[in-house]
Copies of this chain bind each other. A is one copy, B any other.
Amino acid sequence: MHSTIRDVAAHSGVSIATVSRALNTPELLNAETLAKVRESIEALDFMPSARGRQLRGVSTRLVGVVVPTLANPVFAESLQGIDEAASASGYRLMLMTTAYDSGRERRAIETLREQRVDGLIATVADAESNPLLDELDRIGLPYVLAHNDTACRAAVSVDNRRAARDGVRALLQRGHKRILMLAGSFAESDRARLRYRGYENAMLDAGLTPYAPLEMDFNAEELPASLLAHLSDPLRRPTALFCSNDRLAMIVIRGLRHAGLLVPGDISVLGFDGIPLGEWLSTALSSVATPNREIGRHAWRHLAKQLGLPDSKAIDEAANEANEPIPFKLPHNVRTGATIASYIEPAARMAALEPENPA
C-alpha cells in the first residue's frame, strides 16, 4: 500500500542510499539528483516509515502519556501543557487512559514500552509502592509523574498537604471551626490522603479536633445519608465543607441547595483543583487552585532533561540561569470565590434576619 524508499529509488534511477540522503542530508547531494529524487517522492506519495528508521536505532521521539481520564478537566489541562511543550521539542504523544484501574495502567505502560517510547509521563493511582514504576526504574526507561505527590520518584505536583492546609486556613481565618472534609475514594488517590493530612494539620494548629474524613461517591446524584446526618442539627453542624476536589464540591453544592441550605450563607464550601469551570458558576467556586497546565509543562521539562534534550526554557533565558533546577513542586493558590463566607455567630445571624432591626 505504501511506497517504500526502494520504489522511489527505482522510479528516479538512483540507489536507496541516495534517497535516504535526500531525506536526511539533502545538502550532501547533487542538486539535480536531489530534484529528481524529490520529484519521485512526490509522484509516489512517498512518506518515509518511522518504523524502518527507528529500527536502525534512532530514537522514536515518542512520549507515552498515561492519565486516568480526560473527563476530568485537570488532566485535559495538563495534557495540553505536555503537548505544547513536547511538540515544541519535536516529540509526539501517545496517549493512554486508565480510568484509575491498575490493570489498565499495566497494559498502558506495556503498550508504550512495546512502542519504544523514549520516555513517559504518567499519573498513577499509587505512586509510592508501584511495581510498574519500579520496573521502569530497573530497565532505565525515563519517566516523570504528573500530579502524583511523592518524594520517592520524579513527580511534578503542588504540595498537596500544604495546599490543603492553606485552603483550610482560609476557612479558619473566616472564623470557621466546625470544618468537615469530604473526599472521593482515598484508595484511588494518594493525593486525597495528602490533602486530608493538610486538613488535619490546619485543624490541629488551630487547636481544633479534625473530623474523620467523609468518603462519598463521585457520581452520586444526591448527598449521602452520612453527610445529611452531619447537617441535621443547625447549631452543631459543620459551618464549612472542604472537598478534596472541585467536582465533588460542585456535587455537594448542588445537593446542599437541594436540601435547602444556602451556600455560602448557611454553609461554606471549598473545593480543590481550581478547574476553570468553577469560576463560571454564578456563585464562583472557592477552590485551592493548582496550575495544571504548568504541571504538564514542567513534567515535560523534567523528562526532556532525562532524555538529554536541551531545555528550551533555559535557552530563552540568560546563560547563567540555565542550570537553575526545574521545580518539582509548583505553587498553589487559594482562590477565594463566592462559596466561602465569614462565619457568623448564630445569635448575630438571627438578629440580622429580623427585619425590624434598624440599619
Tell me, yes or no, whether A45 is within 8 Å of chain B by CB: yes
A93: nearest chain-B partner, CB-CB: B95
Name the one of B49, B96, B110, B111 contacting A114, with C-beta atoms under 8 angstroms: B49
CB neighbours (8 Å) of A113 from chain B are 47
Give Cα A256 to B297, complex, Å. Answer: 35
A92/B80 in contact, CB under 8 A: no
Tell me, yes or no, whether A116 is within 8 Å of chain B by CB: yes
CB-contacts of A73-115 with B (<8 A): 73, 76-77, 79-80, 83, 92-97, 110-111, 113-115
B97/A94 in contact, CB under 8 A: no
Give Cα A93 to B112, complex, Å. Answer: 11
CB-contacts of A138-197 with B (<8 A): 138-140
Tell me, yes or no, whether A277 is within 8 Å of chain B by CB: yes
Give Cα A162 to B346, complex, Å. Answer: 55
Tell me, yes or no, whether A208 is within 8 Å of chain B by CB: no
A45: nearest chain-B partner, CB-CB: B139
Chain A 279-302, CB-CB to B under 8 Å as 1, else 0, gives 011110000000000000000000
Binds B, one of A50-58, A232-240, A303-311, A321-329: A50-58
Tell me, yes or no, whether A313 is within 8 Å of chain B by CB: no
A52/B49 in contact, CB under 8 A: no
Tell me, yes or no, whether A71 is within 8 Å of chain B by CB: yes
Tell me, yes or no, whether A224 is within 8 Å of chain B by CB: no
Interface bin, chain A: 35 or more
CB neighbours (8 Å) of A283 from chain B are 282
Give Cα A83 to B71, complex, Å. Answer: 12
CB neighbours (8 Å) of A45 from chain B are 135, 138-139
Return A266 CB to nearest CB of chain B, in Å.
Answer: 16
Return A264 CB to nearest CB of chain B, in Å.
Answer: 13
Name the one of B50, B111, B250, B254 contacting A116, with C-beta atoms under 8 angstroms: B50
> Given A50-B114, A116-B2, A116-B51, A69 and B80 touching (CB < 8 A)?
yes
Give Cα A140 to B247, complex, Å. Answer: 44
Name the one of B70, B79, B115 contacting A80, with C-beta atoms under 8 angstroms: B70
B114/A48 in contact, CB under 8 A: yes
Give Cα A1 to B52, complex, Å. Answer: 18
> Given A51-B55, A92-B111, A95-B95, A76 and B70 touching (CB < 8 A)?
yes
18 contacts between A and B (CB under 8 A): A2-B139, A45-B139, A47-B113, A49-B55, A51-B55, A55-B55, A70-B77, A70-B83, A76-B76, A92-B111, A92-B115, A93-B96, A94-B94, A94-B95, A95-B95, A277-B277, A282-B282, A282-B283
